[in-house]
Amino acid sequence: MSKPALGRGLGALLSGVGSKPTPAPAAVPPASALAAPTGPLTGSGVRTVPVGKVQPSPLQPRKDFTRESLEELAESIRRQGIVQPLIVRPMNGGFELIAGERRWRAAQLAGLTEVPIVERAATDHEVLELALVENLQRENLNPVEEALGYSQLGSQFSLTQEEIAARVGRSRAAVANALRLLRLPEAIQTALRDGRLSVGHAKVLLGIADSKAQQSAFDRVLSGGLSVRQTEELAARLLAPVQSATPAAAAPVAAGRDVFVVDLENKLRERFATKIGLRYRSGRGSLEIRFASDDELNRVLSLLGISID
C-alpha cells in the first residue's frame, strides 16, 4: 500500500523537477539531464556550484546522519552522480540548503567538488515546514527529531497543534503525542534517537510520574530487552498501591497512577484529539473531555455520534 502524501510535499519544492532522471556516467550529471523546475525560482534552473558554497540549514530537523548510510550513498554518487539536485536558497553570498543535506554530505565523502542545485526563495517558516515534510515522507526522522521539528514550528512561528498538523499532513493527535516525548529525560530521548527504545516503550515510561521509578523502568527495559507489553507489566508493578503494615491504615495509598489507566487515557486522547482526564478506582471514576471552541465541541460530539438539532 502506498503512503498518502504529506502536506504540500516535495512537489512544492521541485515543481516539475524529474524524480527519476536518467543517470549520467559523470560524477555530476549535466543540467540538461534534469528537467527544469517551474516554481518560484531565484536562479535560472538547475546549475552546478562549488560544494563549499552550500551550507546546511540550522532549521533542518534531521540531526542524525549515520556514517554507514552516508558511505552507501557516496558510493552510489561515485557511480551515477547526483541524480536529483539540491534545493537551496541564497544566503550570505552562498547557498543554504532547503532539501538534500544527506546528498550534500555524501557528495563530499564521494570527493565531488561541485553539486547541482535549484534555487528558490523561501522564508524561515517555509524552510522548516518543507524540510519536515520531506523527511516525514521519506521516514528519515527519528521520533525525537520529529517532535523537535513540531516544537520549533509551534514556538518559532506561533502555530497551534492543529495548524502544525495541517501543514505536515499529520493528525493533531499524532502531533500532540510526538510533542509529549520531549517531556522525557535526555537519556531516554537519546535511546529513542538511536533506536534502542521504541515509541511504544516511551509512551509507557511517560505514564510513570516518579522520576526514580521511571529511570528504574528504563534501565530494566534496556538491560532485559523487554517488549512493550512486558514494560507495561513492569510499570504496573512499580506503580502498584503500597499496602500499609498497620491495620489502622488498611486503605492503600497510591504511589502513582496506574499505567493501564494512563494508557487508556492516552488512547482516548488520540481518538478525540483533545485533552482527556480519566479518573478510575475500583470500578468507579469519571471521564472529562475538554474542548476549546464550539467547533471542537461539535467535532467531539460528531465522533460520539451525537448531533445538535
* Catalytic residue set: 101
Name the packing angle between helices 124-137 and 143-157 (round to 10°).
Answer: 160
Distance CA 139, CA 214 (A): 29
Q: Decide if 173 contacts 300 (C-beta within 8 A).
A: no
- Name the DSSP letter for residue 242: B
Q: In Å, how far are 33, 40, 65, 84, 99 from 110, measured between CA atoms? A: 20, 31, 16, 16, 19
Write out the H or E segment, with its range, that includes residue 165: helix 161-168
Phi then psi for 80, rounded to 5 degrees? -120, -10
Alpha carbons within 13 angstroms on the beta-carbon side of residue 99 total 26
SS3 content of the chain, % helix, strand, coil (to 5): 50, 10, 40
16: left (phi over 0), alpha (psi -120 to 50) or beta: left
Residue 81: alpha-carbon gap to chain centroid: 29
Place of cell 508493578: 237
